[in-house]
Structure 1
Amino acid sequence: MTVSFPSGDSYVVAHLYLPEGHDPAKRYPAVAVGGSFTSVKEQMGGIYAGEMARRGVMAMAVDYRNYGQSGGAKRQYEDPASKAEDLSAALRYLASRSDVSGTGLLGVCTSGGTVLYTAAEDANVGAVATVAGFFSEPEMVTVIKKGPEVVERLRADGRLARQIYDETGEIKTIRAYHNTDQTAASVSPSQYYLDQTRGGGVPSWRNEFAVMAWEPWIDFDPVSRAPRVTAPTLVIHSDGSAFPDQARKVYGLLAGPKELHWAEGAHFDFYDQGDAVRDAADRVAAHFRVTLG
């Protein structure tokens, strides 16, 4: 079912997946699910939310503000702080339901980092799981972008684009993902996004990144949040997923009960490919059933 609730200066729209055989008189573990950079709820977030529901966990795949069906004037704007607020708003919605026993967060790819922002601050986060998480920190962005000069140019581009938006309302965008376009925000194989039978074919997704988001995106730093995360956390990663050393680093910094599962598979396998998703979903659902009751 589709639900909406207020967040910040606007609202969030989400798809809520009820556990199979849902009985409104019973109480279920419930989680909010977020996906990759620029993703919408019909992509990997929705896939994992459906997998959770089949395993007895209520799950809600969200469109962050400025994406998909959610509100927000700055479309395609990546802002970790705003996304963390949206996850908190999602947990407030879930916690208000009489059929919920406890609330947690599941983050795939970039949201694997975003959930650490929320978990570091919000007591409603009873448990956390990440799958193929992207655990950035500013020094790593400098390496990815091949030097501080490039990073400073991107910051300047972002400030100029924000000025244009403030003065005219125009949102300057570039491609979010591409395999050869050097002006794209992420220049990588991008198979999932360039394949119309996979994420690239989801009608509500736009392969666009708001240029004015460069500064908050460069400053995205879930690694610094990890030491403040005390909720039980499951980290699922693989050698084929993005920056495996960062996953190990985050795991080592987590302050509460924690488990690291090293899986098999390439990064995008964990978005929508059968075996990788099923194995991850089995482990994540078991984690939430134990920790959220």
Structure 2
Amino acid sequence: MNKIALTAAASLMASTAAIAQVETRTLTFENEGAQLSGTLYLPEGHDGSVLPIVVVTGAWTSVEEQMPSVYAKEMVGRGFAAFTFDFRGWGKSGDLPGHVRYAESPAAKTSDIRAAFEFVATLPEVDASQINGLGICASAGYMVDAVAGNDTVNRIGLVAPWLQNEHLVETVYGGSEGVAGLINLSRAAEAAGGQIIPASGPEGAEGVLMPIGGYYYDADRGAVPAYDNKWNNAGWEGWLTYHPADNGARLTHPLAIVHSETAAIPDGVRAFLSGFAGEATLQMLEDVTQFDFYDNPEDVTRAADTIATHFKS
């Protein structure tokens, strides 16, 4: 692997991008028989010329109005068009097969990203030779798998990537017994036609996927009106048996990663890069939490600078 390491103190000059003035267009596209809802972001008053584009995807349980929208606007401010969308089973998009909603499905989300790449390549505002993918948190693994072997895509960037393997899954979810228990819960929920619980709640709340308060629970941050705030326990098995940290060898596209030792599972980044043989830029910021990467202006700016510079290389 040819890796360029960037430090927080001396990585890039401060961003010169002004706060983006954007115009948006609601668009729909299809994948595997379902209609997906998305948004195209362009500079305000765009003259119709073609632009490079970034397809932006977000964390688990998220909708496009959350962190994908934040980074889409950042990309527009740096000279790109951007596209966000709701995955099948979430937000404004259609259901997963079997009319299932709110189930985290790595296979389905990877397929949706591939369909999004194919869709944006047809848009008259887009330079089809300059299509890039940006995955945030859980969708980083999906983005890697959607880009791997995909000649439609030029470059890939990951921000605060949640890249897990079997060891990290057991570390996070209570060891082998904890994982087995959640897989049993998943199978029971699937047999019952689904079991929906709140995705976020206050710290210590019971019966909630993320009882931690913060981003998803704060109306001034991620608890936007469009957020479903739901989780289907039937999705646990697919999520826990998905190991994207093992998938580095699949990817040959130039890669940039922005992460922090104080964000979620940085060991997953190291595991992924150990198997990646291509060109990689890694920026590890100091003292940045996972949620900071979603919407804290200073940290978003630094991450967006690195990713945009990579896409323009």
The two structures have a TM-score, normalised by structure 1, of 0.91
Query: Which of 130, 143, 148 is 1:120 aligned to?
Result: 148
Query: Which of 91, 96, 100 is 2:122 aligned to?
Result: 96
SS of 2:68's partner is helix
Mapped to 2, the partners of 1:104 and 1:84 lie a distance apart of: 15
SS of 2:208's partner is coil
**Structure 1: gaps (5+ residues):** 166-170
CA deviations on 1:47-72 (whole Å, 9 max, x unpaired) are: 10011111111111111110000111
Mapped to 2, the partners of 1:221 and 1:9 lie a distance apart of: 27
- Change in CA separation of 1:257 and 1:110 when aligned onto 2, cut-off 3 Å: same
Mapped to 2, the partners of 1:27 and 1:234 lie a distance apart of: 24
The residue type equivalent to 1:125 in the other structure is V
Mapped to 2, the partners of 1:66 and 1:19 lie a distance apart of: 30
- Whether 1:282 and 2:284 are equivalent positions in the alignment is no
The residue type equivalent to 1:213 in the other structure is G
Query: Which of 191, 196, 204 is 1:180 aligned to?
Result: 204
- Whether 1:252 and 2:274 are equivalent positions in the alignment is yes
Q: Which has the higher helix share?
A: 1
1:211 corresponding residue in structure 2: 233
Partners of 1:29 and 1:288 within 8 A in 2:
no
- Whether 1:58 and 2:81 are equivalent positions in the alignment is yes
Mapped to 2, the partners of 1:80 and 1:19 lie a distance apart of: 32
- Whether 1:238 and 2:260 are equivalent positions in the alignment is yes
1:74 corresponding residue in structure 2: 100
Root-mean-square deviation (Å) = 1.6
Partners of 1:112 and 1:130 within 8 A in 2:
yes
Query: Which of 123, 127, 139 is 1:111 aligned to?
Result: 139
The two structures have a TM-score, normalised by structure 2, of 0.85
2:15 corresponding residue in structure 1: none
Query: Which of 11, 29, 37 is 1:5 aligned to?
Result: 29
Identity level (%):
34
**Structure 2: gaps (5+ residues):** 1-24
Total equivalences in the alignment: 282
- Change in CA separation of 1:221 and 1:121 when aligned onto 2, cut-off 3 Å: farther
Partners of 1:20 and 1:53 within 8 A in 2:
no
1:168 corresponding residue in structure 2: none
Partners of 2:145 and 2:250 within 8 A in 1:
no
1:134 corresponding residue in structure 2: 162
The residue type equivalent to 1:254 in the other structure is F
2:59 corresponding residue in structure 1: 36
1:151 corresponding residue in structure 2: 179
